[in-house]
Structure 1
Amino acid sequence: MNFKKLSIALLTLVLVMTLSFTVLAEEVELRIYHVNDVHSRVEEDDYAGSMGYAKMETLIKQGRKEKENVMFLDAGDTFHGQTIANINEGEAISHILDLMDLDALTLGNHDFNYGQDRLKELAQMSNFPFLAANLSRKDGEEIPYTQDYIIKEYNGVKVGVFGLATPETSYKTHPKNVEGLVFNNPIITANAVVNELESKVDVVIALTHLGISEGSKYTSKMVAEEVPGIDLIVDGHSHNVIEGGMMVNDTMIVMAGEYSKYLGYVDLTIENGEVSNIDANLIPREDTKNVEKDYIISTVVDRINRANQAITSQVVGRTAVELNGARGSVRTGETNLGNLITDAMRAKLDTDAAITNGGGIRASIDQGEITQGEVITVLPFGNTAMAIKLSGADLKAALEHGVSKYPATEGLFPQVSGIKFTFDGDAEAGNRVQQVWVGGEKLDPDAVYTVATNDFMKAGGDGYTMFKEAPIVKEAGGLEEVLMDYIAANSPVAPETEARILIK
């Protein structure tokens, strides 16, 4: 036997096996589950199309069994929106997401709805970080409830995740909730953070609440176009369903719709410190019919609901028709629920007209009994109703502003009472409103009208700056209370659309 040849053959085999093992060792797979704009749609809901957190947890747990490396991210608008969250100001959501082992959350505009003090408390009680690298204070002080980024390691691969909050937060929550804060340019911020991370990590992920809406000044698509070095953007805010992800330059953008209708996941392959493959997927609610709900999450949700039931189950009246509060409807045209709400405001405050922002209407109500919980779900922000004095010119300017983003589904779109107006949706913004009537008569730009609105808009929210200096005539308490009182007094209600808003 030629031992020299045998030794060389064995050495060659060992080297090949070693090299093969080295290549395999340098290839790491990472799965990233993601959600956005859940708006506390915690439970499975046929009407809203939500799968709920319990089914999501089952899917994520299954993924953690199948995959060695799994991350779970939330792109914001998480703590507010439904009664289960609003009654305890987000604490229930924090607890549930802790049980689901959330890795990080970026702050959405509605996550500020309880104010900064409460946001600080939520950050302290949560075991996951709140990310917002472009958020700072005017006085230069540190923000106690956010951090710029996190770094996590998976089989030797370092992954950096940084957050970006939409600058629209300055007017898409109540202005008092963001006093003293600065929402810096997300593109400039992203460049700076990526430059800092590139020497520290192998994979860069931006967890953003920017959206891809044409009505937004800053979008995640702009970040991908102008900031090299981001492998993945997990986005929210515009509620888009991005099937298979969207490649912009070398960056993949993903978004999973809204209201827990989808659970997104992205599979990354990292070789020699570089992303060699990226695959984006969505699991729609209709594909989860046979998925069992996670026992722990279901039990926690049931206990929270039982504690809240004494409040939410009280019947305030009935509706003879379905009340349309769908996002795509209240932000682009007149709806019967928008009419009901503004009629209630105008009746309560005895004004010439009423105007409320479509973005403040967050759900529909089925025909039949109306419970207190349903009204709170429709009007979850705790806004107060108030009457102000406006000149006819300012009232028209408000309507112009309200339709300025049409046909984009923006929350500033107005729902009105005591007003009828026509506008040209194809005309240049600022010159769209054609005719306006108040109380059945043509608007007089020099006349002074009393207008019922909410405190969010009065403070300039959603960009209604013409309301800021308007004198307040009187206030009427919570908007949800105003609506409940009106329903109780006029039950059964049966509002219709009445051509209050005509689009030409």
Structure 2
Amino acid sequence: MNYKHLLFLLLITILNSCKQETYSLSKIEGKQISITDTIATDKSINDFVKPFRESINKDMDAVLSYAPETYSKSDGDLNTAIGNLMADAVMQESNPIFNKRTGKNIDAVILNHGGIRSIISKGNITTRTAFEIMPFENSIVVVALKGQQIDSMTHYLSQAKRAHPISGIQLTLDKDYNITQALVNKKPIDKDKIYYVATNDYLYNGGDRMRFFKENDSLYTLDYKIRNAMIDYFKKTDTINPVIDNRFIQTK
């Protein structure tokens, strides 16, 4: 065997030794591990977490206001006391922020019925109450809409047939859910006017099929959560008194 053959065999051996093996998944196995009271608590972890837990609970249980009755989002067909309270709280607490930044005022508020995640129970209202009602991190935005888009918004409300929280709007429907009157700030909608509507970022992005927000002149982000607006509202209100009113009704 000459040197050329020897070198060739050596090269083949090296290449074969460097060849990577390929693997393929043959099966996946798993099992469920139940977490029960039989699992012992790690005292060191519990001792470490305890002061933080106690501090959070103290903040969450701080009394902010008082509810003379229990309020639920199922209490009305087209508007509810708890929904009216939420929309009015957003209007009251966010308008000063918006006005300070822009010199303009919010004309209306629209939120979504599904965003109310709990009741307000009769008795003390705490920070925890606000977190239970609004557990999401949704922030308030103000959208500049022309009168034509406001018409689209009121049409959406008439067809949704749900108690979506609104403020600054008065909407009357007939027995067939046709709009017989639509007012903003107690005045008929002016198609040439720009209206400033407060909502949350989820709805602005099309949540609950509220697509009318996309045709807008401007968007203002307040960096202010719905939940924080409610907490600030509760702090300023000794005893809440929300009611079902005529802001969104149907004549029979």
Give the TM-score, by structure 1 length: 0.36
Structure 1 portions without partners, runs of 5+ = 1-96, 101-293
Partner of 1:227: none
Letter in 1 for 2:70: E
Q: 1:475 is aligned with what amino acid?
A: L
Amino acid at match of 1:380: P
Partner of 1:334: 79
Q: Which has the higher helix share?
A: 2
Is 1:475 matched with 2:225?
no
* Matches for 1:92-103 after TM superposition, within 5 Å: 99=34
Q: Which amino acid aligns with 2:92?
A: A
Aligned-residue offset at 1:490:
2.1
1:455 aligns with 2:210: no
Higher strand share: 1
Distance 1:446-1:354 versus aligned 2 partners, 3 A rule: same
Q: Shift of residue 98 of structure 1?
A: 5.8
Q: Once the two structures are superposed, what CA deviation does each residue of 1:285-337 show, in whole Å capped at 9, x if it has no partner?
A: xxxxxxxxx8569x9xxx999935234212222223322234xx47x420111
2:69 corresponds to? 321
Aligned match for 1:416, one of 166, 175, 182: 166
> How far apart, CA to CA, are the structure 1 residues paired with 2:138 and 2:33?
29
Partner of 2:248: 501
Q: 2:151 matched to which residue of 1? A: 396
Distance 1:311 1:420, change over 3 A: same
Cα distance, 1:476 vs structure 2: 4.4
Structure 1 residues 110-129: aligned runs within 5 Å = none
Q: Cα deviation per residue 1:146-195 (whole Å; 9 max; x = unaligned)?
A: xxxxxxxxxxxxxxxxxxxxxxxxxxxxxxxxxxxxxxxxxxxxxxxxxx
Give the whole-Å Cα distance in 2 for the aligned partners of 1:296 and 1:311: 31
The alpha-carbon deviation at position 426 of structure 1 amounts to 3.0
Structure 2 distance, partners of 1:424, 1:99, is 55
* Equivalent in the alignment of 1:367: 122
Structure 1 residues 316 and 387, CA gap change in structure 2 (3 angstroms): same
Q: How big is each residue's C-alpha offset from its partner over 1:348-398, in whole Å with a ceiling of 9 and x where there is no partner?
A: 232111110111011111122111111111111110012211122212211
Distance 1:455-1:448 versus aligned 2 partners, 3 A rule: same
2:239 aligned counterpart, secondary structure: coil
Q: Go from structure 1 to structure 2 and tell me whether the alpha carbon gap of 1:404 and 1:346 turns closer, same or farther (over 3 Å shift).
A: same
Contact map agreement 1:319 1:494 (CA 8 A) in 2: yes
The amino acid that maps onto 1:501 is F
Q: Which runs of 4 or more aligned residues in structure 1 lie more than 4 Å from their structure 2 counterparts after TM superposition?
A: 294-297, 303-306
1:190-246 per-position Cα deviation (integer Å, ceiling 9, x unaligned): xxxxxxxxxxxxxxxxxxxxxxxxxxxxxxxxxxxxxxxxxxxxxxxxxxxxxxxxx
User: Which residue in the other structure is 1:347 paired with?
Assistant: 92
- Secondary structure of the residue that 1:435 maps to in structure 2? strand
Q: Percent identity?
A: 26
Please state whether the residue corresponding to 1:369 is helix, strand or coil.
strand
Structure 2 stretches lacking a partner, 5+ long: 1-31, 96-105
Equivalent pairs counted in the alignment come to: 199
* Contact 2:145/2:215 (8 A) holds in 1: no
CA distance, structure 1, for counterparts of residue 132 and residue 185 of structure 2: 31
- Identify if the C-alpha distance between structure 1 residues 480 and 455 changes in structure 2 by more than 3 Å, giving closer, same or farther: same
Write the mapping of 1:211-222 to structure 2, written as runs, cut at 5 A: none
Label 1:314 to 1:392 Cα distance change in 2 as closer, same or farther (>3 A): same
Q: Does the CA-based 8 Å contact 1:320-1:368 persist in structure 2?
A: yes
Say whether the 8 Å CA contact 2:146–2:191 is kept in structure 1: yes
Contact 1:325 1:378 in 2 (8 A): no
SS of the residue aligned with 1:404?
Answer: helix
Q: Distance in 1 between matches of 2:85 and 2:187?
A: 21
- Offset at residue 493 of structure 1 (A): 1.4
1:435 is displaced (CA, Å) by 1.3
Larger relative contact order (Cα-Cα within 8 Å, sequence gap ≥ 6): 2
Higher-Rg structure is 2
The one-letter code matched in structure 1 to 2:240 is V
Q: Secondary structure at the match of 1:414?
A: coil
